[in-house]
Amino acid sequence: MRAPSGLLHNWAKIGLLLLILGMAACNTLKKVDDGEFLLTKNSIYADDEKINNSDIRSLISQKPNSTLLGYPLRLNLYNLAKENPDSSFQNWLHKKEKREKRLNNLLSQKQVNRLRESFMVKGASDFLKRIGEAPVIIDTVLTQKSVDRLKAYYNSKGYFNNSGTFNVAKGKRKKRAEIEYQINLNKPFYIDTLQRNISSPELDSVYNKAFDKSFVKSGDQFDLGNFTIERERLTTLFRNSGFYNFQESSINYDILRDTTKVANDQKMDVQLNIQKPRSANDSTSAENTYKIHRFKKVNIYADYLIGGSTDSLKSVDHENYTIYYNNKLKYKPKALTDAVFFEKDSIYRDLDRIRTYRQITNLNTFKYPNIEFIPESDDALLTSNVYLAPRPKFSLNLDFDITHSNIQQVGTTFGGSVITRNVFGGAETLNISARGSIGLLNDRGSSLTGGSFTSEIGGDINITFPRIWLPFNTEKIIPHYMLPQSRFLVGTNFQKNIGLDKQSFNTILSYNWNPSNSLRNTIELLNVEFVRNVNPDNFYNVYQNTFSNLDGIADGFQDDPQYASFFEASTDVEDPLRLNVPTGANDFVQGVLNNDIPVTQDERDEVNSIEERRQRLTENNLIFASNYTLSKNSKIDINDNDFYQFRIKLESAGNLLSALDGIVPYNKNDNDQLLVFGVPFSQYFKTEFDFIRHWEVGNAKVLAFRSFFGLAIPYGNSENIPFVRSYFAGGSNDNRAWNAYELGPGRTSNINDFNEANLKLAMNLEYRFPIAGDVKGALFADAGNIWNVFDNEDNPDAVFSGFNSLSDTALGTGFGLRYDFTYFVFRLDIGFKTYNPAEEASKRWFRQYNFKNAGFNIGINYPF
């Protein structure tokens, strides 16, 4: 969404002026007393090697005040706050002898105290302290604590004889100092022999089979972190090998020091101990030992009510499971048993328990399940009870929003959906949704459409199956633990007074599954979209740049009486006559192309290009496609700032319909294209690659990178790519120095109102940092462009002709402000045209590098 550039330009100036004035009045040392030192830098040296590892540096108790581009913004904001903000109120209160007494009589003593607490100066000071940062005064007690932490860290890495000191180095500027930490490591210790003492023979057997994957091995340097990882590995191994009650606390290590070895020998023996399980009173007994447990019985309670009784439930046995239900079983037994990954006589595996939780949740039919395991008193057997509390059969969701765009003054969108669960008894979910919008057009929108209002209405019917819905069994290829889903969608959408008033119908049959938490596969076996342009005569009103080019060519014929019917009066003083739309414009185009109107060859080529674009954008489209998408995301959780993700997509359209040529008697149009229901179907191959990488470079500071490559090649029944499947450049999530659809193709200069092409390259780099409180900042550089390639475009400025065309890559740089609302981020980005390929070669750099020509972008959440 774009922000009004003039308004934001003025606010930017005012905000910058206020910031400069406020900061100029600040004194960084305002609250640093005599004899105190403001900490400006920490340096860590281990055996004279400077340490920059962020994990090690995080052990230091005191860190310098944060800076914004080298300036201590938060410190100076804190310094603006008054130490005693209520002193102004007190001075005013006691300025006159009887003022306090009169106020107490009028308001009461309690209300006067509240007035003091809510006094504006105090409120402002509290706010400045909250978003600011108190000066970090060097405290040698905390410094020594940091030394002890560093020594403990290197001790955990095998440097048992290390020592540490610190030195406070006064800076050249007054009341400032740096701290240097010096750690003398000495020689590290190594693991000599690895012994084990495992109480259970069954545990010992499992351990031996997986010993080669151990993180603790003879000859390795001692590292406490490896011991911790090894304990976690063994716990996971045992709990996935039948030991359902295994406790990590049963694992410990002894460091054995051989007193017969020489004093300077840096080797030690390690013994792994796996003890018997502890009982509730924290004791062990000879009879209590770890055993491999198997399932004696698995019960599934399909109609479980939390806190309710299960005694009156009926039951049915299905494939080694017992299903309990109330009155009548509402679910197909296989739909329930396929979601449970442990069965009778199988050994316990923690992985099966986790997969069962995930798959039952994926059914979207039950609330979060409750699974219990009950051990038998004598044998190593388990009884499992899976309690499933059903969600409501029906649910209703309603949405409402207010919108604004470049053609709408204000608009409202509304929608609703009805969700029906367990439609056919196999945990299927049916979602029927409807949506609509209405908007009041601004002057530009009214001139484009000829109306005052826009409207849009649409709806979808979407049914999801918790399995791969195919006529053959896919369980061996895609097992249930991969959370397979099939989705069938039918939808439609109608527009009024929006562009060419499109009507669209679409059908999708897709499958998706997740081999792991980070990996996802999606196949759209069928993706059919039919787009009908209801109002093609509105083309020249919508695409005004195209019309201006055509009208400019026609200006030379305004005074010729035989072409008078082509023109109409215009309110434009500089162009009192213009082509009337659509008749005059279409007749002029046909006259030029039929050589009835004399124009130059360049003008004829331009008119031919305009007519080809008009036909392409006004013709109806039928897209019969299939695609495959592979995506991976290494992000662990919402707080993970060091991750990568990529997406690869392959799409093919029209091949099936083309293969039926000769079998199906297709009609053809004048361009020899095959027609389906009177519409030429699109045929193309498309591929996309999207890669994102985030690096955490400091406390709450992130360097984010994104690259994108997309290429769509028309062939066979098509000479170009449908508009809805082409690429554009610019906008709040792309190159932020240009408006959406404004950049490209190639080195062309915004020749169309909606510039698009079939090849796109994009790269984005963004540095994100905290400013104050929930306010964040960003510096960014966006590079990329779109080009035409392998299609019928003949403008050399728009065509990608090889590596030399990469010189047409646009570059935008800028900065942004973001406010974190926890659940979403509000974003304002300002991008400047740094390298503009549409300019002459000698004027491309920094030609329009100013606020007047900047791109102001408002967005929700981060762009990548």
Q: Tell me the per-residue pLDDT of 242-262, one tens digit each, with 9 for 90 and over.
A: 998 899 999 999 988 665 555
Q: What is the DSSP letter of 199?
A: S
pLDDT tier at 118, thresholds 50, 70, 90:
low
Condensed to tens digits (0 to 9), the pLDDT of residues 760-777 reads 999 999 999 988 888 899
The string over 362-389, giving b where at least 16 C-beta atoms fall within 10 Å of a residue's C-beta and e elsewhere, is bbbbbeebebeeebeeeebbbebbbbbb
Instruction: For residue 80, give both structure tokens.
Output: 């603006």
Least confident stretch, 126-140, 326-340, 804-818, 849-863: 126-140
User: Could you tell me the pLDDT band of residue 213, with boundaries at 50, 70 and 90?
Assistant: very high
Of 356 and 378, the structure prediction assigns the larger pLDDT to 356
Q: Residue 632 pLDDT more than 50? A: yes
Q: 0.95 cut: is pTM over it?
A: no
Q: What is the mean pLDDT of residues 290-308?
A: 87
pLDDT digits (tens, 9 = 90+) for 516-529: 999 999 999 999 99
Closest CA to 504 of 488, 527, 537: 527
Residue 823: its pLDDT value, please? 82
One-letter amino acid at 727 equals Y
Residue ranges in 276-362 assigned as alpha helix (H): 333-337, 350-362
Percent of the chain with pLDDT over 70: 88
> Does residue 4 have a pLDDT over 60?
no
Does the structure show a pLDDT above 80 at 103?
A: no
Token output for 859? 């967005």
Pick from 139-148, 500-509, 535-544: least confident: 535-544
pLDDT exceeds cutoff 90 at 681 = yes
Where helices occur in 429-472 by DSSP H, the ranges are: 443-449
What pLDDT, on the 0 to 100 scale, is given for residue 406? 54
- Rounded average pLDDT over 269-281: 84
What residues contact 573, with CB distance under 8 A and at least 6 apart? none
Average pLDDT, the chain: 86
Task: Indicate whether 446 pLDDT > 60.
Answer: no
Give pLDDT, residue 89: 63
Percent of the chain with pLDDT over 90: 53
Strand partners for 232:
none
Residue 626: pLDDT over 50: yes
Please answer whether residues 521 and 476 qualify as being in contact, where contact means their C-beta atoms are separated by less than 8 angstroms. no
Q: Is the pLDDT of residue 296 over 90?
A: yes
pLDDT level of residue 741 (50, 70, 90 thresholds)? confident
